[in-house]
Structure 1
């Protein structure tokens, strides 16, 4: 059983390991919100519904406030309020989703409650993380943007935080009582997980993007990306194929599930960016309803990134974990526009390894800042050369095989 909660980027990466597990003879179910039932079903995988609607939450006043404040400390209080709502919905559904499971593989949004449900039901658990989820001296917590505070603070601030009361403690304690466990707050449960040798943690990204920190405990590893699967029989729209072939490789621009309700503002920025950078562009609508205008612009709905990105001159995106992986795999330069959570961490990492000329935080997004970076990414051959070299290393990894080995040993 794979349990995941969040946006499309929190669900799609797990379809790759799920199909590999099924091919190896395992019965696989993905528990996710109903919005993703069709995506899961198209791949022939079983789906169990989890309560909640992440899109509606991000479109709410709180969700927009979170995006407007960005990552780091300024967005913490809003993030906590959103986390409360997400955790309440997970609490409603995780026990029912886990019924009959032999193993629980948990994405971060379902981690606390899934771990507790596993303890209560006697089901082995493991964390499948899409970004670094264990404290280390080598960088700050990725979920808070990954800002480097120095080795001592990087390591001990998160551990100190796990000794402090949390606004989420009351709801976690109530869940403990519901499933017959001694009441524990969220920070105590997190400490238990970090110390639990029977609760392995796999990170689904490449060691060539983020090497495994030397101070991580045994059972915590970086295994390579988990690639989403395309729907069977998918073919590229003829209009898109014709557009790509009609001129120089275009630039992709999209913000995924970020910034719902901001389509009009973003569309103006994208249109002006394309004009100033003098590039052709493929613009993906995403949850914001993004559009753009111009003779050298094509607007599309959902297109598998593994098909689209390799055909681009560069990609501009919010730097969610899954989209970041797709850009790395494609071997093209990246211009990130990080919004919140782990996205600033990935943006800084891409610049550090030389496949990005820099990023524009979403809170400062404008054509004046974005267009020069797009031009640099497209015209400087060094970025593409480094991106291609990195892609060769990343494609040689097999993150799903590590999940197979994990399940076989549980």
Structure 2
């Protein structure tokens, strides 16, 4: 299993990996060094995937916006793809599970190893009339426009990164085949893509081809030795349930992080609620009597203890908030975040979406008051949580993968 990205791109894969392990499979997870503890603390085998880029995302002084652009550039994809190949080229395997950002190097590697590749995604990206690809936001372009948006996005990716993929193939001793031809071959073969999100939250489109499966969420296992800090327990016991505020892996400058810390503190004060602020990659830091700043705390433990959750609507954080059964305020910025924010609104568990660039203390305070002051919304959030809890995304994904591998072995 190979994954590149932020914590939200890695953590759910640990849930799927643990499920495969518990079903009797040997699982190796390749990722960047910053996620080694996240993976090994779940009892999983880790292989470091060199970034081959001079970037330390744990450094509070790093230019994070520049770093993200560097990762997404052709040179960045080439560098991280070479790291993937270096990590897994000699690893014995029957199948290679690929997060979306690892497909560019992962497909050639699987072909060179003579094994199938299976996609693992946390948002709907394949063409459908129902909506545009999640990474393009929440606005519908109509049935034809939605499908065109997906096709155009795939064409653009092939256009920009085709040379990089050809380089991987050359390095692995594979024949030179145009990337568009390779994409059409995979689609014609109905290659398997497992989507690790809830069909309650985003139903599988009726016009998707066979092989595109929506399994339900893959809940990350809690680190084996984790216990809640005494300071956090004392804070929770000292008053009514607080409101969580966190923006996950959103990146910016240290100065912006300081500005956002002040904004969040002002919003919580204006709303008249206690707060728990997660530092995240913005390095938020709020120090007040009724506000506690925390580092990494498992969301499955923390969120059910909240009055509401304010977050950037990354797929994993959205999932945790939904399972906790608490109202949410979405503050999305880019990629699939606006899509999930709209799903929260459509489900009736969020009173407002505030685009991150338009966030103010007053707008956030008003949304927090709406989220915490509506018992009907809280009840509806509980109903949605109950439906999600009945799903077993890991078991469904494991079964689909085993059936696929069985069919592949029989065909060959």
Q: TM-score, normalised by structure 1?
A: 0.91
Distance of 2:226 and 2:60 partners within structure 1: 29
Deviates more, 1:174-183 or 1:30-39: 174-183
- Residue 141 (structure 1) shift: 1.0
Contact 1:4/1:32 (<8 A) preserved: yes
When residues 401 and 388 of structure 1 are mapped into structure 2, their CA distance, relative to the original with a 3 A threshold, is: same
* Cα offsets for 1:167-190 (capped at 9, x unmatched): 222212211211223334555544
Unaligned 5+ residue runs, structure 2? 406-412
- Residue 51 (structure 1) shift: 2.1
Contact 1:57/1:63 (<8 A) preserved: no
Distance of 1:370 and 1:321 partners within structure 2: 21
The equivalent residue for 1:400 is 394
The equivalent residue for 1:380 is 374
5 Å matches for 1:331-350? 331-350=325-344
Contact 1:41/1:47 (<8 A) preserved: yes
Distance of 1:170 and 1:104 partners within structure 2: 22
When residues 170 and 388 of structure 1 are mapped into structure 2, their CA distance, relative to the original with a 3 A threshold, is: same
The equivalent residue for 2:84 is 94
Say which SS state the counterpart of residue 128 (structure 1) adopts: strand
Distance of 2:321 and 2:75 partners within structure 1: 31
The equivalent residue for 2:249 is 257
Say which SS state the counterpart of residue 105 (structure 1) adopts: strand
Contact 1:3/1:31 (<8 A) preserved: yes
- Residue 84 (structure 1) shift: 2.6
Distance of 2:154 and 2:27 partners within structure 1: 33
Equivalences, count: 396
Contact 2:244/2:275 (<8 A) preserved: yes
- Residue 349 (structure 1) shift: 1.0
Unaligned 5+ residue runs, structure 1? 67-77
CA RMSD of aligned residues (A): 2.2
Q: Which of the residues 73, 81, 101 maps onto 1:109? A: 101
The equivalent residue for 2:409 is none
Distance of 2:264 and 2:177 partners within structure 1: 47
The equivalent residue for 1:50 is 49
Contact 1:260/1:289 (<8 A) preserved: no
Deviates more, 1:142-151 or 1:176-185: 176-185
Q: Does 1:293 align with 2:290?
A: no
* Cα offsets for 1:110-163 (capped at 9, x unmatched): 123212211222111111111112111100110121421001110123224444
Contact 1:204/1:223 (<8 A) preserved: yes
- Residue 196 (structure 1) shift: 2.6
Q: TM-score, normalised by structure 2?
A: 0.90
Distance of 2:221 and 2:322 partners within structure 1: 17
Contact 1:230/1:304 (<8 A) preserved: yes
* Cα offsets for 1:319-339 (capped at 9, x unmatched): 111111101111011111112
The equivalent residue for 1:202 is 194
Distance of 1:35 and 1:137 partners within structure 2: 38
Distance of 2:203 and 2:147 partners within structure 1: 16
